[in-house]
Amino acid sequence: MSEKHLTKYPTASLPELFTIAGPIILGLLTGSLMNFFDRLFLSHYKVEAMNGAAVGGLISYTFLLIPLSLCAISEVFVGQYNGAGKYHEVGKATGQMILVALAATLVFVPSAFFIAPYFIESSQHTYGVPYMRIFLSGGTLLCLSAALNGFFAGIGKTKISLYASLAGNFVNIIMDPILIFGIGPIPSMGVEGAAYATLLGELAICLILVFSYLKPHFREKFKTLTLAFNMKLMRESVRIGLPSAIGHTIEVLGWSLLFYFSSQQGEIFLTVFVVGQTILIFFIFFTEGLEKGTTAIAANLIGSKQIELIPKLIRSAAKLVGLWLLILLPFMVIYPEIILDVLEIDQARYIYGSELYIHSVWALRYVWLFMLIDSFVWVIVGIMKSAGDTVFIMFANPACAFLFGFIPCVIAMKMDLISPSMQWVFLVFYASMNLLLFIRRYQSGKWKKLDVTKEPQVVV
């Protein structure tokens, strides 16, 4: 593969990785902001509506996570076919995930009305169920954007995804107050208005992505008008995409269980956990964007038979991780009080005493260390995913999370052996074990035998 296939910069270099991953990272940040503005406007409407939307959104994503992850696997196929110069196969691969996104409507709508409401506590039904029914019913829009974003990442055109995300966020911000509070002939719709505003933002994203996807240049080069069902490609997509999606879902479930058990230890334990988790979730856009950028470049390298450049890609990713964590160092390690003041934890000390504040300070320091280690894990995950080595990811990631993190932490909490901030020490330990396991897998070279552009090979 020549450099011009992705960017003007040297292949697998830091500038190339930043060029590919940067727009993805910013796009994911705008997604976080879309969620933030939903909560912000709803908090001014009714706090109960904000809480209900948060619960409804969480349940919705529980149903969306596997289809979303599956549709996003288009990035792997597009990257490898693009790197191999098999441009006419790119449209076929993306088309399979577009079909999955469209077919998912047959699952999302019935689930939204007849299944998902049972997962919401009765106290949250008033606002949580209406939000969830609208948002989950429109889940196809999120899956469609995931499939199309995978296409643009695989060919190195991530700025298109960024522009679409910015436009969607703009639409959401404009429509939120109009639909939530009402204006002129438009009545106040409250929590339902927030859900509709979010879907309108997602619709704007999809329209821009579809319009770009169907441009003459892409139609000619990548055959993007191809939308015929292909059994072989669909089977391979599911074989590679489903294990990763299942593994991620199990890990998210583990975090939810830890949240539940932490809440049983009292307000201080729960607050310290929530403080750390809030910051971790807010900054997750960097880790996810870096993983997707790494996957895109690595897939192209594998497709073009330049696998020897993978170590260079890892070094580039390491530099980017180091730079990012260095920026966060003053706010999370040296002076974490800055973040705690923003979260008004300083005020809470008057209710719960100085113990809460001290443990929150240490929680942020441990979260910084967790983010450092976990970022390297996801760099390697991106490389393995680009080669289709997702069965290992499905077993290794949740296994480490439960065996070295969640289960020992819950046992220690139940036996009153740890302080509130020590919860995060267990999570740092699990991240460390996870990194060692993935490094070992990478060094074994087994993932190098996997090539999604060839016939399936089973490597365990």
Residue 159 CB neighbour total at 10 angstroms:
16
Please give the DSSP secondary-structure letter assigned to residue 224.
T
CA distance 193 to 187: 9
Q: Is 342 exposed, middle or buried (0-12, 13-18, 19+ CB in 10 A)?
A: exposed
Count helices and strands in the chain by DSSP H and E runs = 20, 0
**Per-residue pLDDT tens digits for 318-336:** 999 999 999 999 999 999 8
User: Is the domain of 117 the same as that of 23?
Assistant: yes
- pLDDT at residue 171, as a whole number: 96
Task: Please name which of 118, 121, 59, 83 lies closest in space to residue 299, comparing C-alpha atoms.
Answer: 83
CA distance 142 to 85: 29
Q: Is 444 exposed, middle or buried (0-12, 13-18, 19+ CB in 10 A)?
A: exposed
User: Is the domain of 386 the same as that of 266?
Assistant: yes
Q: Is 361 exposed, middle or buried (0-12, 13-18, 19+ CB in 10 A)?
A: buried
Q: Which of 178, 206, 229 is the last residue of a domain?
A: 229
User: Is the domain of 297 the same as that of 168?
Assistant: no
User: Is the domain of 209 the same as that of 313?
Assistant: no
3-state secondary structure of 186: strand
Q: Which of 198, 229, 260 is the last residue of a domain?
A: 229
With vertex at residue 212, the alpha carbon angle to CA 207 and CA 216, rounded to the nearest 5 degrees, is 135
Please give the DSSP secondary-structure letter assigned to residue 402.
I
Task: Please name which of 153, 170, 180 lies closest in space to residue 205, comparing C-alpha atoms.
Answer: 170
For residue 239, is it within any domain?
no
For residue 175, is it within any domain?
yes
pTM of the model: 0.89
User: Is the domain of 220 the same as that of 263?
Assistant: no
Contact assessment for residue 285 and residue 31, using Cβ atoms and an 8 Å cutoff = yes
User: Is the domain of 48 the same as that of 99?
Assistant: yes
For residue 330, is it within any domain?
yes
User: Is the domain of 203 the same as that of 248?
Assistant: no
User: Is the domain of 189 the same as that of 159?
Assistant: yes
Contact assessment for residue 12 and residue 316, using Cβ atoms and an 8 Å cutoff = yes
For residue 198, is it within any domain?
yes
- pLDDT at residue 204, as a whole number: 97
- pLDDT at residue 231, as a whole number: 94
3-state secondary structure of 430: helix
- pLDDT at residue 141, as a whole number: 96
Residues contacting 198, CB < 8 A, separation 6+: 34, 38, 135, 172
User: Is the domain of 213 the same as that of 248?
Assistant: no
Contact assessment for residue 301 and residue 388, using Cβ atoms and an 8 Å cutoff = no
Total domains present in the chain = 2
Task: Please name which of 227, 226, 224 lies closest in space to residue 216, comparing C-alpha atoms.
Answer: 224
Tell me which residues of the chain have a pLDDT lower than 50: 1-4, 350-352, 456-460
- pLDDT at residue 170, as a whole number: 95
Residue 65 CB neighbour total at 10 angstroms:
16
Q: What value does the CA radius of gyration of the chain take, rounded to a whole number of Å?
A: 22
- pLDDT at residue 33, as a whole number: 81
For residue 102, is it within any domain?
yes
Q: Which of 181, 205, 229 is the last residue of a domain?
A: 229
User: Is the domain of 203 the same as that of 297?
Assistant: no
φ and ψ at residue 6, rounded to 5 degrees: -120, -60
- pLDDT at residue 454, as a whole number: 65
**Per-residue pLDDT tens digits for 202-232:** 999 999 999 999 999 999 999 999 889 999 9
CA distance 49 to 194: 10
CA distance 159 to 31: 15
CA distance 194 to 337: 33
For residue 237, is it within any domain?
no
CA distance 442 to 460: 13
User: Is the domain of 251 the same as that of 373?
Assistant: yes
- pLDDT at residue 78, as a whole number: 95
For residue 191, is it within any domain?
yes
For residue 325, is it within any domain?
yes
Domain that holds residue 384: 244-447
User: Is the domain of 224 the same as that of 269?
Assistant: no
